[in-house]
A and B are shown apart, each in its own frame.
Chain A
Amino acid sequence: MKRAKSIVATILAGLALSAVAPTQLTAQDKNTLVWGDTLPAGLDPHAIFDVPMQFILLNAYDTLYRYIGNPPDLQPWLARSHAVSEDGLTWLFKLNDGVKFHDGSPVTAADVVYSFRRLLAMKRGPAGAFLPVLKPDNITAPDPQTVRFVLDKPYAPFLAAIPLVAIVNQKQVEANIKDGDFGAAWLSGNDAGSGAYRIDPATYRPREALDLLRFKEHFKGWADSARPIDVVKARPVAETSTRVLALMRGEIDATDSYLPTDQVERVEKNPRTRVARDESMRVFIIRMNNKKPPFDNVNARKCFATAFNYEGFNQVILKGFVDRNPGPNPRNLWGNPPDLAGYKYDLAAAKSWCDKARAEGAKLDREVEIHIQSELEQTSQAAQMFQADLQKVGIKMKIVSSTWAQITSATGKPETSPDLWIHWVSTYFVDPENWIGQMYDSQFEGTWKASSYYSNAEVDQLLRKARSISDRGEREKLYQQATTKVVADSPDIWVYNTIQLRGLSKRVQGYKFSPVGGGGDLRYMSLSE
């Protein structure tokens, strides 16, 4: 009994002692950055394709070309140049000399071929951008420094999509294949890249912790940073309130780049922290199922589009930390008509559109459902505001809480797709194809991006032509025409283009934002004394 008492006393004393011991405010030294943004579910860049994966892709891996800065500029990276045949089918990429993987072996054209073939075979992640136009056998290496792609049909966004594909070390991945899994189980927790930072697999705890160590021999050198950071400890913080407190307390140096607008002032008031604001290419959209009544009626859709209070949502609820986006493409991307005005909030106009729709037999009396992503508060705020305004024009709308996985599963068929749902379209690659191309060409029906099931033969034709020619000026005109037609048909409600807000410690210098990767490129950063 006495012994038990003394053990308990020791533990209590330890707890008390440790509690009053002074807390180290900044958990990091001047060479260690603690990154509080989300980590992807695994580390295989060919298996997972989402916003958190960009952090791994940009830092642990290299790609043939890379987007840099804002507006994003596509620059040669592992490749030093490329050439395309006149018919737009054959693409040749010349690689830089002397590039090394983290294990010291050279990056060769064979590794590039292997990486693309692995991606196509796994059919996951960013494979969707290439599967319709590229067969594995048509990716070859005529010599150790040249890669040749022969497309099945001309596909102008091909180069724009090239930065999606991480080049992996063939030798390392092949040595770890089990049961024909393409080495996916191994690569989900290991590193086979050549990027500016190498993954320390021993520190990896999925979605919880990962240390990245500077790869001093990186082929681009380190002149881009005033004082390159040697160690980056990725420590994702799940809860918004904890994330903000952890930044203010100095436990982390950076939050994610979707800081809630009501937290901006708080972070900026703290002497230790600041908020980086950068206009991104991420459009907030309320989708309408154009195949389901009443949304099969254009006047009914216009009624909904004029009943949404854009100004109120953007300026009041989101405190002006977003920019109104009148069409499907981000307003800062090429391909938008210069005079595109979009829809305005006008309940009198909404009533009149609704009356017209009713006169044409549109079933506006049934209760419509809007599906929101319950974990994303903005989707709920937008739906609640919209619900109140629709009620004023005599439309009943029910808000249904859901998840991304559930909604995107439902959008596979027009019958199961919700009446309305809310989401963002982020930058997967910087080309109108990523937005208007994949959202409103009817050949993409069945994917979540084309979930409004909009179909217009003229628009299809314009988008398909724009996809098949390489002249940028010509493409721009086609996208402008298509955008004008799509906006006139009002298939969806386009609300705003995101300004990404990332809370940063003031000691972080050289933060460089790009819509691709959201500012997660570590090679430019340094830490002040």
Chain B
Amino acid sequence: MFLFLIRRLLLVIPALIGLTVLTFVLVRVVPSDPAATLAGENSSRKQIEEIRTKYGFDQPLHTQFFIYVGQVLTGDLGNSVFSNRPVSADVRRTLPATIELTFTALLFATMIGIPLGTMAAVRHNGLLDHAVRVVTVGGLAVASFWFAIMLQLFFSMELEWLPLRGRIGVNVGAPATVTGFFLIDSVIAGRWDQFVSALRHIALPALTLSLPALATIARFARAGVLDTLQRDFVHYETAIGYPRRRIIWVYVLRNSVIAAVTQIGLLFGALISSAVAVEAIFDWPGIGSYAVQAILAADYKAVLAVTLVIGVIYAAVNILVDLVHGLLDPRVAEQL
């Protein structure tokens, strides 16, 4: 297991180097001049050229790349060429918001998706199965921005239950930063009002983001349970008179969710990327919104940092999924 972990960690290094090279080249070869953006809207050509020299944009691309990699290796993601702030501070501020949103969405999707898929499999071709099929196909087909606006119109405008936008109430204010996750920080601070406000604000964006994930998890859980239900041990356990509920929710489920768990891991990465649209609609101040602004402003250091950080998270989640695989299935653990 330990050797497996080391091996996987070592494999991440070339992947991240590849990612950095690719992003750096992509960001710098697109026809977008950071010097022009930096100089401002009313700047002269001379002013732009002076900025280019001052910030080293006139140096060969490979020189700029090695300077950048050198900085990253020392833990310095550089300063935003646009706002002058350290990019790492921006990432520290925006990443927890996205992770909190993604994690909540995934938690919701898992808690609903696995039981839903299991029940659909148990009542194979029954009414519930058909209903779940409709939900899962719909969940994958519906555009998230449309679903988000519908939720806003219904829960915020019509029922006036939940806020439209933002991460916390204007008058409540953000909790003191400990983890960066408002739901946790508000509990640490002992502020129930902040916790409730954060919960109310995360509800709609998390629900929007969770829908395609819920559909995927439910489908995988259903397929897994259906497959396991045909196994001999299920017939045996049924024959010796084990309670049906115990067979399904303990033995069958444990043997069925491995595929779903793999999906959950992969979904975490996918959800971080698809959070961009959801963050924009709900004004969720996460790394997706930050990346969009960075791209529009040609703030290449910010774009690189976001790509690198998301790459690291993706790799970490994949390793974690493999480890969880091992825990769920001892046969896999032996191979690791």
Contacts and interface: CB of A to CB of B under 8 A. Distances in A.
Interface of A: 8, 14-15, 17-25, 27-29, 32, 34, 41-42, 44, 47-50, 123-129, 131-132, 181, 184-185, 188-189, 203, 205-209, 233, 235-239, 241-242, 245-246, 248-249, 251, 375, 403-406, 408-410, 412, 416, 428, 438, 444-449
A123 B40 CA distance: 9
B1 to A, nearest CB: 25
A41 B297 contact: yes
Contacts of B58: none
Given A23-B163, A49-B41, A28 B171 contact: yes
Interface string B43-64: 1111110110010000000000
Interface stretch (B153-161, B227-235, B325-333): B153-161
A416 B31 contact: yes
Interface string B162-186: 1111100111011000000000000
B199 A14 contact: yes
Interface stretch (B76-84, B130-138, B253-261, B304-312): B76-84
A24 B30 CA distance: 46
B289 interface: yes
Contacts of A249: 156-157, 160, 164
Contact of A403 (B41, B90, B161, B296): B296
B8 interface: no
Which of B84, B161, B170, B171 has most A Cβ within 10 Å? B84
B149 interface: yes
Contacts of A188: 83-85
25 contacts: A15-B199, A18-B196, A18-B200, A19-B200, A23-B163, A24-B171, A29-B171, A32-B171, A34-B170, A41-B83, A41-B293, A41-B297, A124-B43, A126-B40, A207-B285, A209-B174, A209-B285, A235-B170, A237-B165, A241-B149, A242-B165, A245-B152, A251-B165, A406-B31, A412-B33
A453 B48 CA distance: 18
Max chain A Cβ within 10 angstroms of own Cβ: one of B41, B48, B164, B293: B41
Given A14-B199, A42-B82, A129 B33 contact: no
Residue of B32, B163, B295 contacting most chain A CB atoms (<10 Å): B32
A166 B294 CA distance: 26
A405 B31 CA distance: 8
A25 B85 contact: no
Interface stretch (B17-25, B210-218, B275-283): B275-283
Contact of A124 (B39, B90, B280): B39
B324 interface: no
A86 B122 CA distance: 94
A248 B157 CA distance: 9
Given A50-B40, A124-B39, 10 more contacts: A18-B199, A27-B171, A47-B83, A181-B84, A188-B85, A242-B281, A245-B153, A251-B165, A409-B31, A412-B33
Instruction: Assign chain B's interface to a size class.
Output: 35 or more
A21 B83 contact: no
Contacts of A405: 32-34, 36-37, 296-298
Given A25-B160, A238-B283, A447-B45, A408 B36 contact: yes
B111 interface: yes
B203 interface: yes
Among B43, B79, B298, the most chain A Cβ lie within 10 Å of the Cβ of B43
Contacts of A22: 160
A251 B47 contact: no
Given A41-B293, A188-B85, A409-B298, A242 B152 contact: yes
Interface in B103-162: 111, 149, 152-153, 156-157, 160-162
A14 B195 contact: yes
A27 B37 CA distance: 36
Contacts of B47: 123, 127-128, 131
Given A41-B82, A248-B157, A125 B40 contact: yes
A14 B193 CA distance: 11
Contact of A242 (B34, B44, B90, B283): B283
Contacts of A18: 196, 199-200
B85 A131 contact: no
Contact of B38 (A124, A181, A236, A238): A124
Contacts of B37: 405, 408-409
Contacts of A403: 32, 295-296, 298
A251 B47 CA distance: 42
A436 to B, nearest CB: 15
A403 B79 CA distance: 22
Contacts of B34: 405
Given A123-B50, A239-B280, A375 B200 contact: no
